[in-house]
Amino acid sequence: MILIDGKAAAAKLKKEIATEVAAMIDKNQKAPHLVAILVGDDPASQTYVASKEKASRSVGITSSIYRLSAKTSEKELLELISFLNNDEDVDGFIVQLPLPDHINVEKIINSIDYRKDVDGFHPMNVGKMVLGESALISATPQGILYLLETYKIETKGKNVVVLGRSNIVGTPMSILLSRKSEQGDATVTLCHSRTKNLSDITKKADIIIAAIGKPEFLKADMVKKGVVIIDVGIHRIPDEKAAKGYRLTGDVDFAAVSKKASHITPVPGGVGPMTIAALLKNTLLSTKK
């Protein structure tokens, strides 16, 4: 079994990004500028945005954060987005999700200039991705493709099962793996909560992308020997034996499934680091465009 080391792969990608950014600065060009908007005080969101800021600076990308109160109105947020859309110094920005209930997420995403939408959520970027055109692709699927490329995992003609149909991971992942490309040409089955006889489907899979949002959902008796497992999930499970009182786990029963897998991502340290690295790559692409 080969452990897919997301930290090592992310470090490699970030080194490539840092080299490109340094070359831009050497030519007296402006360093890329990534902005994050954080509304409210969700602890997970705060941690994630801080990680993005640290990663940005490590590769020479300028990073700024707008921290707004949870009481910020939808109108105020839209005004800030309009300002960033028109700020020539800003190359890309994200609005960290989730947002407070009184703010319409769809309206916010649609208001972002798709050329600065480094999260890849805008309908224009999603549409371009579906058509196979140049687009800013959402960071987690992009990071997964990079992991498959780094570990030379063949996708052409393979049976791929994607667990979960979210607009952030599952749906774009199924499209990217099925289209004609280097990390594509696979036969993809998209499964979800309504899928019947799920085990019959997963047992035939050469590659499984688990993004269903349920801790340790994928068990060893649901996979075949030699399967490649990409675990997107991350959950905090109470554990009295752990120093922090909890442990982190994914959507896959790692201890059992890893005994049958040819390749598998750990949680943490698998897909997570690649998501941030891919976001930085999108910022660089946005700058070039």
Helix (H) or strand (E) holding 229: strand 228-231
Which candidate, 43, 44, 41, 65, places its Cα nearest to that of 53?
A: 65
The catalytic residue among 119, 206, 231, 251 is 119
Q: Which tokens go with 203?
A: 């047992």
d(CA 236, CA 213): 12
Which candidate, 191, 271, 196, 268, places its Cα nearest to that of 230?
A: 271
List residues bridging with 160 in a β-sheet. 188, 207
The catalytic residue among 5, 14, 91, 96 is 96
119 assigned to active site:
yes
14 assigned to active site:
no
In whole angstroms, how far apart are CA 155 and each of 44, 151, 207? Answer: 33, 12, 8
Q: Which tokens go with 115?
A: 């050329």
The backbone torsions φ and ψ at residue 238, rounded to the nearest 5 degrees and listed phi first, read: -55, 135
The catalytic residue among 14, 52, 116, 281 is 52
**255: buried, middle or exposed (CB in 10 Å: 19+, 13-18, 0-12)?**
exposed
One-letter amino acid for residue 221 of the chain: D
d(CA 6, CA 55): 14
Q: Which tokens go with 204?
A: 């035939």
106-115: string of b/e by CB count within 10 Å (b at 16+)? eebbebbbbe
Catalytic residues: 52, 96, 119
